[in-house]
Structure 1
Amino acid sequence: MYPTTGLYECFIWIYRFSLVFCFSLIVSCSGKSCSDKHKKDELSAAVEPMVLDPPVLLEKEHTAQQNNKSKRTDEQNLDVSDELELSRKGVKNIKRVAKVAEYKQAIVLLHGLARISSDFNAMIAILEKRFPHATIVALKSVNKDSNNQKSASLSSKLSIKQQARLAYEEIKAKIPFGSHLILVGHSQGGLRALVVAKEYEARLKRECAITIEQLITIGTPWKGAPIFQHIKRAKTFNEKFRKIAITLDKIQPNYSKTVRGYFFKKAPELAKHHPKVYGKAAPLFMKFGQIDGIADLDPESDFIRNYVVSSLKEVDWPITAIAGVLTDFSELFDTFQYPISAKALTELNVTYAELIGGNPNSEHDMLLPVATQHAEGLVTRNFKRIKVYGTCHGNKVGVSVKRGISELNNKAVIEKVTESIEETFYEYKEEKEEVVVEQGVEATPAA
C-alpha cells in the first residue's frame, strides 16, 4: 500500500512540473525580441534583399528566361545506374556539384558549310535536359537560305575569319553577361569556333565578361578537306572512280552520278568528260568565284597551312575533337538490299576510302578522314581525340542516309559532346559521414 501511494504522488509532481515548464517556455517566446527573430528567419528565406549585385540580377533574369525548362538543383544525385556502379566500388553518396554557377553556363553551337542552325535540334533537345539552366544557342548568322536551295550560303561566300566576326557579334547579342562559354562546332563550324576563340576571346571578356572554357569539334577538317584536292586532279579521280561506278549504280540507279556530284559540287559532268579543262578552270573559280568559305577548306590554303597550324600550337583552352567513322556503304541506307557481291562491296569500300583519305585503309566519315578530324601530325596542346564508329559526316552521301547515323543526330556523338560539357561545368563529389570518436566509447555517426 505505502509503495503504491508514493509512486502515485511522484507521478503527480512530474505532471505539475511539466505544466510549469511548458508555460514558462511559451511566456519566454512571446516577447518582442524572440517573435521578431522568428519572423526575420521566416522572411529571410522568402524575400530577396532590395539592393542586388549585378551577378544576382543576372541570375534572376536568366532564371526567368529558363522557366520553360525542367528544373534541377545545383547538386543532384547520379542516375540510378551510375549509383549502382559506384556502390559496387564502395563509393556512396555521390553528388553532382556545379563547378561553374549554373546561371553562368552557356553553350554555343556553330553549324558546318552550307548548313543551318536547325541541324542541331536533336542535340539541343538532349543538352536542355542535361543542362536545364544553361543558355544554349545555335548561331544563325551564316545560315543557308532554306527557302532557296540554289542560293549560296554565307558559310560558302565569306571566309572563315569573316564568318567568325559575325559569330562574335551574335554571341555578344545572345549570351548573358558574365557567362562561361563552351563552343561546339560541326565541320567548318569547328574552324569558325577556333577563330572566334583566338581572335575574340579577349574582347568578349572585356566587353561582356564572357569567358571561353572549351572548344568541342565534330567532324572538323583541322588539316583541310582532302576531297577538294580532286578538283585539281579530276583525271586521277576519274581513273579510280571508274572501278566503283558500276557497283554504285547497282545499289541505286544513277547513284554513281550522284556520288560524283558529292565530290564535284560544280560542273561534275565537265570533270567527268573534260578533266583537263576542269583541272585548269576549277582553281580559278575557287579563287575568284566568291566562295572563300569553301576555298579556306583546301588543305593547301593559307588559312589551313598557316593560321590553323599555328593556332593549334598556342591555344590556352582545351579542345575535344570528335571524329566520326563509317567506312561501309552497306551501313548507310535502310533500303540497301546487297544487290552486289561481297567482293564488289569490299572493292567499293576500299576504293572510296582511298578517294576520301588517300589510302585504302583510311578511316573516314564518308567525307573526311579521321586524320584531318583529329589533326594528326600537327603540333597540338590541350587536344583530346575521340572516335565514334557507325556515324557519317552528314545526312547525305549523295542521297539521304538512314536515320540516326549522321553525326549531329547520332546518339553516341551527342553523348560524347554531353560528357565533355559535363566535365567542364560539373564535378562529382563523395559526401562522407563525419565520425565522432570518444575514448572508451564506440564510434558512432555524428548527429
Structure 2
Amino acid sequence: MSYIFYRFPLVLFFLFLFPNFVQGKLDKRQSNTLIILFHGLGNHAASFNTMKEKLEQAFPAVSVVALSSVEGMKSISLSIEEQSAINFEELSTKVEDLAQKSIILIGHSQGGLRAYAFLRKYEHLNIKGLVALATPWEGVPGARVDAEMLAHHLTVPVLNDLRELSLDLGYAQTDLEKQLILNVQDNQSVCLFPGGKDLIEGSAFLREVKKSLPNVPIPILAIGGGQTDFSALLTSRKRYRFKALNDMYTFFVVGKKHLNQYHDMQIPLYSQHAFNMLPKAKCNFKRVLIKDAFHSTHVLKIPVPKYKSMLEHPAVLHAVIQFAKTIVK
C-alpha cells in the first residue's frame, strides 16, 4: 500500500476525500440518457413492463419510456414509417430537451424496425445505440402461408401431434388444430394492411432497410430467439417429440430454402440476425442467439413458460443491460 501511495499520492488522496465524485459524474451522465422502448405488431407498451423495471433498477437515473401511441391496431393499419413519426410526436410531448439527450432505442419484433425507421428519420437526435429483439430485418416468411398451404401440410402425423399436444395441455383434442387455422387466417388479414405489408419479404420498406443497414454508424445489437420445439411448451416432465408438428411449423416459419432452421416460433433466425443483409460481420452489428427464447408470450393460444418469452428471458435482459452499460459509461 505504501508503494502505491508513493506512486499515486494525489490520486488516492482525491479518492479518499471525494468518494462520491465518480458516482456523481456517472449519475449526471445517466440523468441525461433516455431509453426508448418500441413494442411489436399489435402489441402494447405494457409488453415491456418487466424489461422497463429491470432497466430502471440497473440505471436509476436514466429515463425509460415505453411508447404507447401506436398500440394495437395502429401498428397494423399504419406503415412503419408513419408509426415512427407518431412515436416521435409522442416522445416530443413527454421528454423535455429531447435533442440534448443521449438515446438508446430498444425495439421488439416490428418495433425493432420502427426503431430503425426512427433512427433513420430523426438523425438530428443523439442516438447512441439500437437493440433489436426478434426483429424481422429480412421479413416474415410465414406471411406466405395461406389456408390452401396449411390444408396441404396438415397430414395425419401432424394432426396426431397437434391432438397429443392439445390433450397434454388440458385442451380439447382439436383445439390447437382449430387455433392454427384461425392464426393463418388472421395473418393473411394482417398482411393486407400497411403495417403488415411492410413485414413481407421483399417489401419496399425492407428493400430500403437492406440498402441502408450496412452504413449505419451506431452500434446495433440483434438478439434472436431459437426455440423450435413444441414440447418446450409443456410444463410437465413428460416429453413427446412432436417431430411432424415441429418439422411442418419450421417449414412454415423459415421456408425450405434456408439451411439455418432456427426460429422463435414466428421469425427465422436468419431474419432476426439480418444474415443475408449483412453476410460479412460488422464490428458495430452484434448478433446474440438465445436458444430457448420464444418470440412472445403465447404460441397459438398456448402460454409460454414463465421467463421464456423474448421480453422476459433473463439472458435477454442481461444482454440488453450489458449493451446499455457500454453506452451509459
For Structure 1 versus Structure 2, the TM-score category normalised by the shorter chain is 0.7 to 0.9
State the SS of the aligned residue for 1:214: strand
Residues 135 and 175, structure 1, Cα contact 8 Å, conserved in 2: no
Give the CA deviation at 1:229.
1.4
| Inter-partner Cα distance in structure 1 for 2:215 and 2:158 | 43
Q: Which residue is equivalent to 1:114?
A: 42
Given the alignment, which residue of 245, 263, 276 partners 2:159? 245
- Checking the alignment, whether the CA contact within 8 Å between 1:251 and 1:336 is kept in structure 2 is no
**1:315 and 2:216 matched:** yes
Q: Deviations over 1:113-152 (max 9, x none)?
A: 00000000001111111000001000001112xxxxxxxx
Q: CA deviation at 1:240?
A: 2.2
Return the match for 2:291 from 389, 397, 414.
389
Q: From the superposition, tell whether residues 418 and 263 of structure 1 become closer, same or farther in structure 2 (CA, over 3 Å).
A: farther
The equivalent of 1:296 in structure 2 is 198
Decide whether the 8 Å contact of 2:260 with 2:269 is kept in 1. no
Distance 1:115 1:188, change over 3 A: same
2:314 maps to 1:411: yes
SS at structure 1 position matched to 2:41: coil
Counterpart of 1:350, as a letter, is D
User: TM-score under structure 2 normalisation?
Assistant: 0.83
1:265 aligns with 2:189: no
Deviation of 1:183 after TM superposition, in Å, equals 0.3
- Mapped to 1, the partners of 2:265 and 2:227 lie a distance apart of 6
| Cα distance in 1 for residues equivalent to 2:260 and 2:202 | 23
Gaps of 5+ in 2: 1-17, 167-172
Matched, 1:139 2:67: yes
TM-score (norm 1): 0.62
Q: Is the 8 A contact 1:325 1:370 kept in 2?
A: yes
Task: Report the Cα offset of residue 408 of structure 1.
Answer: 0.6
Whether the aligned pair in 2 keeps the contact of 1:391 and 1:405 (CA below 8 Å) is: yes
1:347 aligns with 2:244: yes
Distance 1:299 1:403 in 2: 31
Match of 2:7 in 1: none
Task: Check the 8 A contact 1:99/1:424 in 2, yes or no.
Answer: no
1:435 is aligned to none
The answer for the alignment partner of 2:225 in structure 1 is: 324
**1-side partners of 2:190 and 2:56: how far apart?**
40
**SS of corresponding position for 2:83:** helix
Residue 145 (structure 2) pairs with residue 230 (structure 1): yes
Quick one: distance in 2 between partners of 1:184 and 1:100?
22
Q: Does 1:420 align with 2:329?
A: no
CA–CA distance in 2 between the matches of 1:225 and 1:107? 27
Opposite residue 154 of structure 2, the aligned amino acid is F
1:250-308 residue CA offsets vs partner (Å, 9 max, x unmatched): 21122122123333316xxxxxxxxxxxxxxx6xx678x5x21011111131111x211
- Residues in 2 aligned to 1:328 and 1:227: alpha-carbon distance in whole angstroms: 17
Residues 1:255 and 2:169 aligned together: no
Q: Residue 182 of structure 1 aligns with which residue?
A: 104
| Paired amino acid for 2:255 | G
Deviation at 1:97, TM superposition (A): 7.6
Distance 2:42 2:225 in 1: 19
Using the TM superposition, give the Cα deviation of residue 352 of structure 1 relative to its aligned residue in structure 2, in angstroms: 1.7
Amino acid at match of 1:235: E
Cα distance between partner residues in 2 of 1:310 and 1:361: 23
Aligned match of 1:333: 234
Q: Which amino acid aligns with 1:308?
A: V
Identity between Structure 1 and Structure 2 (%): 31
1:141–1:167: 8 Å Cα contact kept in structure 2? yes
Which residues of 2 match residues 358-373 of structure 1 at below 5 A? 358-359=255-256, 362-373=261-272
3-state SS in 2 of match to 1:194: helix
Matched length: 295
More deviation in 351-360 or 162-171? 351-360
Measured on the aligned residues, the alpha-carbon RMSD in Å equals: 2.4
Contact 1:128 1:136 in 2 (8 A): yes
Summarize deviations over 1:12-56 as a string: whole Å, max 9, x none. xxxxxxxxxxxxxxxxxxxxxxxxxxxxxxxxx9xxxxxxxxxxx
Unaligned runs of 5+ in 1: 1-44, 46-72, 77-95, 145-152, 206-210, 267-281, 427-447
**Of the candidates 161, 164, 168, which is equivalent to residue 81 of structure 2?**
161
Q: Which amino acid aligns with 1:259?
A: L
The CA deviation at 1:316 is 1.9
Is the partner of 2:231 in helix, strand or coil? helix
Q: Which of residues 371, 374, 377 in structure 1 aligns to 2:276? A: 377
Q: Look up the match of 1:56.
A: none
Q: Secondary structure at the match of 1:407?
A: coil
- Structure whose alpha-carbon radius of gyration is higher: 1
Which one is further off, 189-198 or 241-250?
A: 241-250
CA distance in 2 between counterparts of 1:313 and 1:346 reads 38
